Each structure stands twice: as structure tokens, then as C-alpha cells.
Structure 1
Amino acid sequence: MQFLAEGTEDDGETPALRRAARSNDWAGTGLRDRPGFLIRRLHQIHTALFMQECAGEGITPVQYSVLTALDQMGPSEQIAISRAVGLDRTSTADVMQRLEKRKMIRRRTSPKDRRSKIATLTEVGEAVLARIDAAASAAHTRTLEPLDPEQRRALMQAMRRIVDTYPDLERKSF
């Protein structure tokens, strides 16, 4: 199944971009016509750019998202953070444990439900966020840099639409 025929008028690619794509090992495999493959590669590229920009802190994009969510939401139950960031419960608990070990968050048992944990951003976590916000923003900018402003807007709009169409799907464990 081909989603966009290579070299078509509306694919938005210049001859230079097509040559660059063909120079990749995967270019001749048909993978570049599969949305899932391209999304996975884009995620890998963004993660690498994020790690370059934020190298000094040793924070992953997911950890940054959790810290940002806690900063914006205030003290929250882990399940609320899980929903906000789009992680399953197990992954959220793992990320929270790593952040707690590094003293970026504090967790306590909820007084309303002993099975539930409430996470709070610590001063260490706040300081890390303050130090890396600009670097994380630079990674986001670098990710979209190959696109012109209209293409950036269109890509962001398309990604939001896809994510909004399947609000709970990413949190399911398969």
C-alpha cells in the first residue's frame, strides 16, 4: 500500500530531498511510504536532537514531559500525569521512580486512596526545568527546521488532529 507516490507533484519534496532520501539504506525498501515507519524515524530523530540539546542534564523527552506536566498541573496523582503525558501506568511509574531517585519529584501516598501516589515537583526538578527549557525548545525548533513556516504549521495541525482522534489509544498496553 502506498500512501503518497514518490515524486508526485504534491509531495512537497525537492529533487535534492529526494536524492538525500535515496542515499539512506531504507530508501529503496518502500518504508518511506509507510506513516508508521516515518513517525518512528521522526521520533528517533527528535529524541537524538533533544538529547544533544539537553545533554548536560541527562533528561529524556518523556522525563521532560512529566516534569513539565507536574510544573503546570501542580501536585498530581500519577494517573493524572499518565493521562496528561500519554503513558501507560507502568511506564509512568518507572519514569516517576527515576525522577524521584534524582530528587526531581517527591511522591507520597494519597490520603484519599492508599493505592494512589501523589507526585510533587521539587526545587531540584524546578531548577532542572528552568535550565533545560530553552534547550528543549531548541530541540523542537531543530526538529521542524527542514520545513518552511507553513509546512510547520500544517504538520503540527495534522499531528494534533491524529492525537486528538485517538485520545486513549497510546496508553493501552498491548
Structure 2
Amino acid sequence: MHQLHLSLFAAQVRGLITPVQFSLLSALAARGSADQTTLATDVALDRSTAAATLARMEAHGWIARGRDDADGRAMRCRMTEAGRTLLARVEPLAREAHRQTLAALPPEDGAHLMALMRAALHGVSD
């Protein structure tokens, strides 16, 4: 199922952004700003992968990073205007990939599957 969704996502976004970058950008949009460790936790990444991905996103101009005022060891991230523009462009494409992933299921089964996956993830993040 994961491989199918990745393939559908890639076909929709056509190289604009990777799934991990999309997840981090979405998490950052939901929070407004956050440190890298929090974002890594939000999207179930290890800290080093998140840091490297966020550095690439900063190089693209999608986010800005800087030392956290309260904790100088932490890197605080915020989305730039370019990041907001990209997210607005990609979100409908990601939703379409999601729709296609579940298209073979009756709507109630798709909703149930999503609820089960959320429950499973909640159990891991506790």
C-alpha cells in the first residue's frame, strides 16, 4: 500500500517535492514554527534524516532555519513564502494521490482503514 501511494504521489507532483519533504512542510504549516526534533517526531523520522532533509528544503528556499532563542542547541524552522506557495500547489495533488490510493475501496472501508492506521500510529507515538 505504501509503495502504491508513493508511486501515485510521484506521478501527481512530478518532481516538485519528495514525500518526506511534503510531510515536513505540512507539519511545519500546522505548527507555524518548530524545532527540527519536533518536526522529526511529527513525521516519524530520525533526527539526522530530518535535519538533512530540512537543510535541503532550506537550500530550495522553502523554509528558514535558525538557532532557537530559548535553546541555542535547537534549530528552529519556519516556512517561507516560497514554501507556502509550494505547499498550496502540492496539497491538492497529494490529496488526489490519497484518493487514488483508496479508490478501489468503498468509501466506508477507506475511512475505516485510515482510522485504523491513525490508531496504530498513535500507539507507536505514545
Please report the TM-score for the alignment, with normalisation by the length of structure 1: 0.69
Asked if 1:51 is matched to 2:30, the reply is: no
Cα distance in 2 for partners of 1:51, 1:77 equals 27
Q: What letter matches 1:53 in structure 2?
A: Q
Q: Are 1:61 and 2:53 counterparts?
A: no
Partner of 1:140: 98
Return the letter of the residue paired with 1:97. Answer: A
What amino acid sits opposite 2:80 in the alignment? Answer: T
Aligned to 2:52: 94
Unaligned runs of 5+ in 2: none
The SS at the match of 1:120 is strand
Could you tell me the TM-score, scaled by structure 2's length? 0.94
SS of equivalent to 2:72: coil
Partner of 1:30: none
The question of 1:70 aligning with 2:28 is answered: yes
Q: CA RMSD in A?
A: 1.2
117-126 or 107-116: which moved more? Answer: 107-116
Where does structure 1 lack aligned partners over 5 or more consecutive residues?
1-41, 169-174
CA displacement, residues 87-122 of structure 1 (integer Å, 9 cap, x when unaligned) = 110111011011011010010011222211000100
Residue 38 of structure 1 corresponds to none
Counterpart in 2 of 1:33? none
Runs of 4+ in structure 1 deviating by more than 3 angstroms, as ranges, are none
Aligned pairs, how many? 126
> For residue 6 of structure 2, what is the amino acid of its counterpart?
T
Residue aligning to 2:116: 158
Q: How far, CA to CA, are the matches of 1:77 and 1:56 in structure 2? A: 26
Higher-Rg structure is 1
1:48 and 1:75 mapped to 2: Cα distance?
A: 30
Q: Give the corresponding residue for 1:167.
A: 125
CA-to-aligned-CA distance 1:36-93 (integer Å, 9 cap, x gap) = xxxxxx1111111001001151x11111111111111011111111121111101110
CA offsets per residue over residues 143-165 of structure 1, 9 Å max, x none?
Answer: 11111112101211211121111
